[in-house]
C-alpha cells in the first residue's frame, strides 16, 4: 500500500483558508452532534527540557470517517531562529482497516486550521460591520489569522503590536503587499486595541497582555496564543466581562490558562461558558445577543480539527496527485 507524504508547501497549497473555514465548521458540527471520539491531548513535559510534545488523537464517524493523530512539539524560542514554534506531523489512518494513509506537515495544518476555526467563530459572533482589527503578535498565527479575518469580514484597518516595534513593522510591510487595506504597526497592545471591534491575540505570553479597560463595547476577541493551564493572554476582568465561547468545554476546563486563572480567582465558573462553537452551528445555544456585549472565543485547538483538515488534504492530494507517494 502507498502512503502520501506532504511537506509544508504542499499542505499550504492543498488547504487554502477559504476551503478550510467550512471544513472546520463541519468538524465542530460533527463534534456537537457526538460524531467524534476525542480524548484530551496528552502533553509530555520533561523537567528542564527546551520544549514539550503533545499527542492529539481523534476519530470521526460519518461519510469521511477516519482516525487521526497529531504528534507536535512546541518550542516557544523557535521564532527567534526563524522557525515555527509548532513542529511535528499529522497522521491519517483508514477507518476501515487502520492502515496509515498519509503523513503531513503539522506546522502547516496547525497554522491554517487554527485560524480557520477563529474564522468560524468570527462569522458567528462578531458584528457584521466589524472591520477595525487589532492583531497582537506577528508570527505564524498572526499571519494566518489575518487571512481568516479577511475571509469572513470586510476589513477596513489593521493595527499590529508585537514584542518589538521592529517585528510589528516587518509584519506590516510583508502583509501590506497582500491586502488592499491599511496595516499599521503600533507601539504597545493598548494602542492596537483602542476602538477595535475585532481583536486577535496570537502570542506566547505567560502573563496577561490584554486588559479589560482597553476593550471597546461590542468587540469580538479570538484568544489563541495560550493552550496550556499555566499561561494566559487576557486578564481576569476581561474573562469575567466577556460572553465566553469555546471550541470544547472539557478542554477549556482542563487546559485553558485564560479560563483557569480567572476561575481560581473566583471570577467565573463553568456556567460562564455560554456555548461551544459547534453548539452555535447546530442552533442548540445562542451566540451574540446584543450589539454592545463583548464576545470572546477561547481557542485551544482540537484533534478533530487536525483530522478534518488532514482528511480533506488527503483527498485533494489524491485528486491532484500532489505529494510523495511511497510504499509503506
Residue 86 pLDDT: 83
Residue 150 pLDDT: 97
Q: How confident is the model at residue 81 (pLDDT cuts 50, 70, 90)?
A: confident
Checking if the pLDDT of 77 tops 90, the result is no
Checking if the pLDDT of 79 tops 90, the result is no
Percent of the chain having pLDDT more than 70?
100
Residue 63 pLDDT: 87
Residue 64 pLDDT: 87
The residue among 85 and 253 whose pLDDT is bigger is 253
DSSP E strands, the chain? 2-6, 36-37, 42-44, 52-60, 66-74, 86-94, 100-105, 132-136, 157-161, 183-185, 198-201, 220-223, 243-246, 273-276, 295-298, 324-327
235-264 pLDDT, tens digit per residue, is 999 999 999 999 999 999 999 999 999 999
Checking if the pLDDT of 58 tops 90, the result is yes
- Please compute the mean of the pLDDT values over residues 114-123 and round it to a whole number: 98
Mind listing the domains of the chain with CATH numbers? Answer: 2-110+304-327 (3.30.1780.10), 127-300 (3.40.50.720)
3-class secondary-structure state, position 315: helix
Checking if the pLDDT of 226 tops 90, the result is no
Checking if the pLDDT of 84 tops 90, the result is no
Residues 62 and 2: their CA atoms lie apart, in Å, by 24
Checking if the pLDDT of 103 tops 90, the result is yes
234 secondary structure, DSSP code: B
CA dihedral for 198, 202, 203, 206, sign (positive or negative): positive
Burial (CB count <10 Å: 0-12, 13-18, 19+), residue 138: buried
Amino acid at each position: 500500500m502507498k502512503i502520501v507524504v506532504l511537506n509544508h508547501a504542499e499542505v499550504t497549497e492543498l488547504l487554502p483558508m477559504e476551503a478550510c473555514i467550512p471544513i472546520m465548521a463541519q468538524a465542530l458540527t460533527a463534534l456537537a452532534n457526538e460524531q467524534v471520539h476525542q480524548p484530551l491531548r496528552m502533553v509530555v513535559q520533561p523537567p528542564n527540557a527546551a520544549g514539550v510534545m503533545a499527542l492529539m488523537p481523534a476519530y470521526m464517524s460519518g461519510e469521511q470517517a477516519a482516525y487521526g493523530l497529531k504528534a507536535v512539539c512546541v518550542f516557544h524560542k523557535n521564532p527567534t531562529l526563524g522557525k515555527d514554534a509548532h513542529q511535528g506531523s499529522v497522521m491519517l489512518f483508514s477507518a476501515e482497516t487502520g492502515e496509515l494513509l498519509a503523513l503531513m506537515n503539522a506546522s502547516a495544518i496547525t497554522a491554517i486550521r487554527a485560524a480557520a476555526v477563529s474564522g468560524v467563530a468570527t462569522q458567528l459572533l462578531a458584528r457584521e460591520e466589524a472591520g477595525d482589527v487589532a492583531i497582537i503578535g506577528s508570527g505564524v498565527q498572526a499571519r494566518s489569522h489575518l487571512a481568516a479575518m479577511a475571509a469572513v469580514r470586510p476589513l477596513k484597518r489593521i493595527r499590529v503590536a508585537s514584542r518589538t516595534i521592529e517585528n510589528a513593522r516587518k509584519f506590516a510591510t510583508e502583509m501590506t503587499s497582500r491586502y488592499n487595506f491599511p496595516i499599521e504597526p503600533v507601539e504597545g497592545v493598548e494602542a492596537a486595541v483602542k476602538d477595535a471591534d475585532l481583536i486577535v491575540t496570537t502570542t506566547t505570553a505567560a502573563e496577561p497582555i490584554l486588559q479589560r479597560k482597553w476593550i471597546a463595547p461590542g468587540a469580538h476577541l479570538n484568544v489563541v496564543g495560550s493552550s496550556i493551564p499555566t499561561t494566559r493572554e487576557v486578564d481576569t476582568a476581561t474573562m469575567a466581562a466577556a460572553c465566553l465561547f469555546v471550541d470544547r468545554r472539557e478542554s477549556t476546563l482542563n487546559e485553558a490558562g485564560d479560563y483557569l486563572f480567572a476561575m481560581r480567582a473566583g471570577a467565573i465558573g463553568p456556567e460562564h461558558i455560554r456555548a461551544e462553537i459547534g453548539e452555535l452551528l447546530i442552533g442548540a445555544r445562542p451566540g451574540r445577543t446584543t450589539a454592545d456585549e463583548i464576545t470572546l472565543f477561547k481557542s485551544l485547538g482540537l484533534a478533530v480539527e487536525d483530522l478534518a483538515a488532514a482528511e480533506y488534504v488527503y483527498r485533494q492530494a489524491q485528486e491532484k496527485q500532489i505529494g510523495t507517494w511511497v510504499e509503506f
